[in-house]
A and B are shown apart, each in its own frame.
Chain A
């Protein structure tokens, strides 16, 4: 699904990713953990094609395609979804419009017909139930006035509607209370399938109590310095990052 080789990237003059290698097969959930400033969000933004995040070397293959050759919207249309750590508010553009436009753009890219209003609302209502969201959210501006937890639920709702092949969730657990965390985790789990891959960027083990990862990676100083199974996350929770940083030094 996703193969990253020797990826170097910078933001402005600051070199952030420094020879990162990662492979995420279809059907798996990978967690990327690491200390602050290690490059986790930069990796997510770089893969999603955010302007200002410049790849200086390396390659990224997504479903056999050169991901870095695609514009941001083309990456999304090809099935890559980025769940933002800080979802932006867009007053004046309502949620239902964004969801429908996003879904139809992706369907058009796949050569499928646009969904009609009835089909769309049926689909959205079903996904909103999963996320325990009130339908009133649909008519509000995108993330406008949402609490931190509501924004994260809205990100996962979008993901469920769009059904991406590869989901990159950047600190989706931050700012969530325990009940919201369970709802968000449940949403993510409903998307798990043999044909999809999910990459969770997180600081904490607690998200992984609800979303069982297949692999856990430690990202530090712009590269993956250790990989392991779910037990690695528990060890990091217990011991912190110093030991793994020291071992990698």
Chain B
């Protein structure tokens, strides 16, 4: 393991302006050791119910735990030592992952094959899970990636790296759910490439951690690739959730749809920075960004930033960004139907993020997510889908 100094990004870096990096200066990044066999029973008891139709892969503090995982021919665990680092502030957490990862889960779905897989990243201290995914031409992968703090009040640190290459006309559906402890720091870096006619749909629900930062780079390298990116972030207390997504259109006739819904209550802060770059060769590109935030606290803060950087004329690009409060007319309508104020507010918050939550891939997962949101949205989350 390298003894090189740890260099973190700072808020002076443009793409990190809204990130909460304060708690990281004192953080311990060195990964926890592999879990003892005697701990596995306790960890198994904390895992969410299995999702029908999905194989399961369990990583504890970044270590693959075969005893809790399904054996799969398409998944190989390799031990990477000193994976090559990349330059730039946006790569700093990815580089920490490369330095500290305890192995890389390589998921290779062969051409025309299909796989439904749930990856559970359990953290007891610091961990650096790493997923390297390849979809062959025409392959289909439904991946649910969930992060869990082993104890609810743990100040865990998760720094995940996920790289994926989606082959020609392959389909990649990725659902990302965080079930972090109240003091947790959650960081991740995604690097994705979409080949000719490939499609990717990401649905992410961010809640629970004290601070989270999600950094993603997506590149349409093949023509007619399609990307749908749905993110819901729910902040409460003093939580701080920040996401940065950089999409590069490098090939013609590709499409990107981005939908962000953030709710900031209490003194929390939610932020989304969506940067679309359309290169000169990317004729016929279509992009649409819908970024909306709801402020539900006097000291809450929301930052949404749609950015378009276009180097060709033949492009259809639209974007909208709004920050507002609960709709008074909707609230009164619900009150006039006997709904108590707290429930009415919860329902409207639920409705606000429902565009994203409805995209979650399985009914069982939606129920589990709804149950997890019950604390933040009492009376609404579990009943709205009942």
Residue of B nearest to A80 (CB): B336
B82 to chain A, nearest CB (A): 48
Contact flags (1/0) for B323-338 with A, using CB distance below 8 Å?
0000111101111111
Interface 9-mer from B141-149, B205-213, B343-351: B343-351
Please tell me if the beta carbons of B339 and A51 are within 8 angstroms of each other in the complex: no
- Cα A106 to Cα B338 in complex, Å, equals 6
B355 interfacial contact with A, CB 8 Å? yes
By a CB distance below 8 angstroms, the chain B residues around A75 are 336
A104 to chain B, nearest CB (A): 9
By a CB distance below 8 angstroms, the chain B residues around A81 are 336
Please tell me if the beta carbons of A90 and B330 are within 8 angstroms of each other in the complex: yes
How many CB-defined contacts (below 8 Å) exist between A and B?
A: 84
Contact flags (1/0) for A53-95 with B, using CB distance below 8 Å?
0000000000000000001110111000110100110111110
B336 to chain A, nearest CB (A): 5
Please tell me if the beta carbons of B384 and A93 are within 8 angstroms of each other in the complex: yes
Closest 7 CB pairs of A and B: A92-B351, A92-B354, A105-B338, A102-B337, A72-B335, A76-B338, A73-B335
By a CB distance below 8 angstroms, the chain A residues around B339 are 73, 98, 101-102, 105
- Cα A93 to Cα B337 in complex, Å, equals 13
- Cα A94 to Cα B334 in complex, Å, equals 12
Q: Count of chain A residues with Cβ under 8 Å from any Cβ of B?
A: 31
B352 interfacial contact with A, CB 8 Å? yes
A190 to chain B, nearest CB (A): 20
A45 to chain B, nearest CB (A): 9
By a CB distance below 8 angstroms, the chain B residues around A206 are none
For the complex with contacts A48-B336, A81-B336, 13 further pairs of A-B residues with Cβ separation under 8 Å are: A50-B332, A71-B335, A73-B344, A75-B336, A88-B333, A90-B330, A90-B334, A90-B351, A92-B353, A93-B334, A93-B350, A94-B384, A98-B337
A165 interfacial contact with B, CB 8 Å? no
By a CB distance below 8 angstroms, the chain B residues around A101 are 337-339, 343, 347, 383
B340 interfacial contact with A, CB 8 Å? yes
Please tell me if the beta carbons of A72 and B384 are within 8 angstroms of each other in the complex: no
By a CB distance below 8 angstroms, the chain B residues around A158 are 337
Contact flags (1/0) for A100-115 with B, using CB distance below 8 Å?
0110011001000000
- The range of chain B's interface size is 20 to 34
B145 to chain A, nearest CB (A): 25
- Cα A92 to Cα B261 in complex, Å, equals 13
Please tell me if the beta carbons of A51 and B337 are within 8 angstroms of each other in the complex: no
Please tell me if the beta carbons of A73 and B340 are within 8 angstroms of each other in the complex: yes
A91-B354 contact given A51-B328, A73-B341, A97-B383, CB 8 Å threshold? yes
Contact with B336, one of A72, A91, A94, A109 (Cβ below 8 angstroms): A72
Residue of B nearest to A97 (CB): B384
- Cα A98 to Cα B386 in complex, Å, equals 12
A73-B348 contact given A87-B333, A93-B384, A101-B343, CB 8 Å threshold? no
Residue of A nearest to B344 (CB): A73
Contact with A77, one of B334, B338, B353, B354 (Cβ below 8 angstroms): B338
By a CB distance below 8 angstroms, the chain B residues around A94 are 384
By a CB distance below 8 angstroms, the chain B residues around A84 are 333, 336
Please tell me if the beta carbons of A91 and B351 are within 8 angstroms of each other in the complex: yes
Please tell me if the beta carbons of B351 and A73 are within 8 angstroms of each other in the complex: no
- Cα A90 to Cα B332 in complex, Å, equals 12
By a CB distance below 8 angstroms, the chain A residues around B334 are 90, 93, 98
Please tell me if the beta carbons of B338 and A92 are within 8 angstroms of each other in the complex: no
- Cα A158 to Cα B334 in complex, Å, equals 12
Please tell me if the beta carbons of B330 and A88 are within 8 angstroms of each other in the complex: yes
Please tell me if the beta carbons of A102 and B338 are within 8 angstroms of each other in the complex: yes
By a CB distance below 8 angstroms, the chain A residues around B340 are 73, 105
B117 to chain A, nearest CB (A): 29
By a CB distance below 8 angstroms, the chain B residues around A72 are 332, 335-336
B9 to chain A, nearest CB (A): 35
Residue of A nearest to B353 (CB): A92
By a CB distance below 8 angstroms, the chain B residues around A73 are 335-336, 338-341, 344
- Cα A84 to Cα B334 in complex, Å, equals 12
By a CB distance below 8 angstroms, the chain A residues around B350 are 92-93
- Cα A49 to Cα B354 in complex, Å, equals 29
Residue of A nearest to B329 (CB): A88
- Cα A141 to Cα B350 in complex, Å, equals 12
A222 to chain B, nearest CB (A): 22
Please tell me if the beta carbons of B338 and A82 are within 8 angstroms of each other in the complex: no
- Cα A102 to Cα B335 in complex, Å, equals 9
A142 to chain B, nearest CB (A): 8
Contact with B355, one of A82, A92, A97, A105 (Cβ below 8 angstroms): A92
By a CB distance below 8 angstroms, the chain A residues around B330 are 88, 90
- Cα A84 to Cα B330 in complex, Å, equals 12
- Cα A166 to Cα B23 in complex, Å, equals 57
Contact flags (1/0) for A206-226 with B, using CB distance below 8 Å?
000000000000000000000
Residue of B nearest to A77 (CB): B338
Most buried by A among B332, B350, B353: B332
22 pairs, CB–CB < 8 Å, chain A vs chain B: A48-B336, A49-B336, A50-B336, A72-B335, A76-B337, A76-B338, A88-B327, A90-B334, A90-B347, A90-B351, A91-B355, A92-B351, A92-B384, A93-B384, A97-B384, A98-B334, A98-B339, A102-B337, A102-B339, A105-B338, A109-B338, A158-B337
